[in-house]
Chains A and B, each alone.
Chain A
């Protein structure tokens, strides 16, 4: 490798140069075999940043694990784990560091094959630019579209597509232009800033560091030229102050300091600030610093880690946010937010599930009360669904137990980014981006079983000229409600319709009330919170009661997770007309269900029985 120091450069000159060097954090992504590792290896190699002993180890490794017939395999420079070198794949996000004479770089190398969404989202949360690799032979794939989608979702301001393996399509310009058009069109649909598309061969080093003689038709920048010239995003000191409190430092009764990293804006001694969520206003007394370290500061700006004291004895602790007063952009204090989630847990998200949520420095108990939709990342279509599977992206409503301080992610990353932590396994289940916070209480409590007000209008009972015994004779049954309950995928809906078919064939009259179907209309306004699940069951039970009055058997297929709500349904319908069957219990077969139901609807009060 070449030395970091230019030939005649003194240390002093280097230090000056180094101090003016900017740091760019970027990520690389692509599918398996798109040549991502080779691209990074090529960047390190062609900028002469590979230590001699590493190069020697690489030459040895290339003979054993290389894919270049014993020749040096640059991909091995970055495939760090033994399993990766043996399998020739990249398992996890890897972090690389290199610098040129102009800039320092941190690369998040995001593998594409396994858990790509999770890896990509992780890398993107730390970076400002993404390089997506596209294989010139295959063109844009689902993976390419997904990578661009996630980059857009995480708000990356800069996108680059590197069309790799141009040597394998004979540096065909038409091929490249077609790909470029496809990618630009997709990014336009996503609403990302216009990306740059570069034709490269990572294997041969074309257009990575040096321009390529193979592409006289390409006049744009090489990858390195791009990396060295895109503007580095630095926090604006004019942005509104946001200082999430990490830690209260109290060495003695005379000193109470609030430690945290300024996430946005700047702060000066004497500034009027507010402590959120309480909203109490006070002023900055000191920006305290050790005398041996230069002493107190008069002002500080993002992203400094600071220690401030306040002029008043206001209540302020970890999780609170010190923010400027006034201004157009204000955080919202609320217990209800709408957010986009990237689901990272193998266990799917079901509406109603509870988590620990971290936002800023605050940790609160939170419930995903509703899944609004899941995004099909290939078509951008939004599908209504009540679960979010591993690596899927969807929009949800979250309710927190304590007030939180939020801002839309697009406006203020630090108060708009969140993670959900599984309460039992402690896995990081999701990354979330706040779209909006609702400053008002979540939906007012809906009419409910226990609190249901007495009806003011008496139902027109007993007006029908048909007597119930006539109905029982015609339908050859005693009307009843059969509640098949259990978690999603426990088979309750299938069994409900199997039961309907069976009763039909026996000459009975039955109607299926499916919880999911009800949500398409009658219960369209409901979420998946505990309260709303209970309400959905109540509505189904009310409909069932009307059907039972007509002599019909009602088959209810509902999640109905709360025993208390099931008891209320039983009370509403009448215990002698209500049969609950737990579909999550193993071993129960359809035949047994049919038998139980038939005997239940053919009691001795049923004319024609026995």
Chain B
């Protein structure tokens, strides 16, 4: 009856498509947060699938901090062109004018101004009542309590103590004007599921996930790629060409590379399966302090 065995991934896919269709049907102005990384790649693929043969009934939104890897931006533009999608790019103009940068202001200020504030601006300007994102519950401890349909008040705040109970697959999608919902179709996926799905469907990913000779600087225990000359070298630092790849992608001065020779998806997966550390280890943003992600989420960070 079926061409192949029903797997755990099929289960997760069916669930995610159900969530995407609920979001499209229940909200007036949904938007899909597209951040170019591997989770967004899976999310976008599922959105294309959920509404085929129509286009997804919502635009894509990318919060551009202006510090993304150049390869991410070209991958983004190519993806949008290939599928004929409606992409909105937003940058916090005020932050740009103030010259906020992850290098001079640190990850905390940069993330707050160029990501959290920027996201709020974009959501308010677009009057979006639902923002669909690719976050997973297994990413970080405070995300483990996140709902699939996660309510945000008028100030985009998340209150972990006042979340709506989520029963069966029946979301309560009701919001008042100005309130909104974050929607996470990949909530129940793990990092492994994401990679397996990408492999199974041969989805193109940003080449930065694959190992290659790249110019990196060792800084604060992390390998930072010098993607352009805005990364000034500190005393004693020098740019080295090393074979590295990235487990997660964000702003390049905040993304630590790992030394690896995995230059195909299969090798990446194999390396991941042998990994003994979590994927967020290479992210500066989570290391500020214990509970930092929780605080950023309360403020409206995705």
Contacts and interface: CB of A to CB of B under 8 A. Distances in A.
Interface residues of B, number: 66
Contacts of B15: 261, 303, 305
A366 interface: no
Interface string B1-17: 11101111011011101
Nearest to B166: A122
Contacts, number: 187
B8 A428 contact: no
Contact of A288 (B3, B53, B281): B53
A247 B21 contact: yes
B190 A97 contact: yes
A503 interface: no
A463 interface: no
Given A121-B167, A126-B168, A304 B273 contact: no
A266 B1 contact: yes
Given A5-B270, A81-B294, A92 B145 contact: yes
B188 to A, nearest CB: 6
Nearest to A80: B141
Between A1, A94, A260, A417, the greatest number of chain B beta carbons within 10 A of the residue's beta carbon is seen for A94
Contacts of A441: none
Contacts of B190: 97
Between B138, B144, B161, B175, the greatest number of chain A beta carbons within 10 A of the residue's beta carbon is seen for B144
A293 B13 CA distance: 13
A165 B201 CA distance: 47
Nearest to B269: A11
A138 interface: no
B177 to A, nearest CB: 12
A95 interface: yes
A68 B288 CA distance: 26
A299 B3 CA distance: 10
Interface in B234-274: 266, 269-270, 273-274
A52 interface: yes
Contact of A4 (B48, B187, B273): B273
Contacts of B138: 97
A251 to B, nearest CB: 4
A14 B14 CA distance: 23
A3 B276 CA distance: 7
Interface secondary structure of A, over-half rule: mixed
Interface in B29-85: 48-55
A39 to B, nearest CB: 16
A220 B178 CA distance: 55
Contact of B49 (A78, A257, A290, A413): A290
B168 A247 contact: no
Contact of B188 (A81, A106, A318): A106
B145 A80 contact: yes
A5 B142 CA distance: 28
A81 B137 CA distance: 13
A305 B145 contact: no
Contacts of A18: 7-8, 196
A92 B164 CA distance: 10
A93 B145 contact: yes
Interface stretch (A20-28, A202-210, A536-544): A20-28
A304 B1 CA distance: 13
A359 B142 CA distance: 30
B163 interface: yes
B174 A356 contact: yes
B80 to A, nearest CB: 17
Contacts of A428: 164-167, 172
Given A97-B188, A259-B21, A288-B53, A358 B8 contact: no
Contact of B167 (A266, A294, A417): A417
Interface string B272-302: 0111111001000000001100110000000
B273 A3 contact: yes
A125 B52 contact: no
B113 to A, nearest CB: 23
Interface in A351-371: 356, 358-359, 361
Contact of A57 (B3, B50, B290): B290
A237 interface: yes
Interface string A405-444: 0000000011001110100001110010000000000000
A104 B8 contact: yes
Given A106-B188, A305-B50, 10 more contacts: A4-B274, A54-B278, A81-B291, A92-B163, A95-B188, A247-B25, A266-B1, A290-B49, A293-B52, A421-B174
Closest 7 CB pairs of A and B: A80-B141, A305-B17, A82-B291, A251-B54, A426-B174, A51-B278, A5-B273
16 contacts: A3-B273, A5-B270, A21-B7, A51-B276, A61-B290, A91-B160, A92-B161, A93-B145, A95-B144, A249-B53, A249-B54, A305-B50, A359-B170, A361-B22, A419-B170, A428-B164
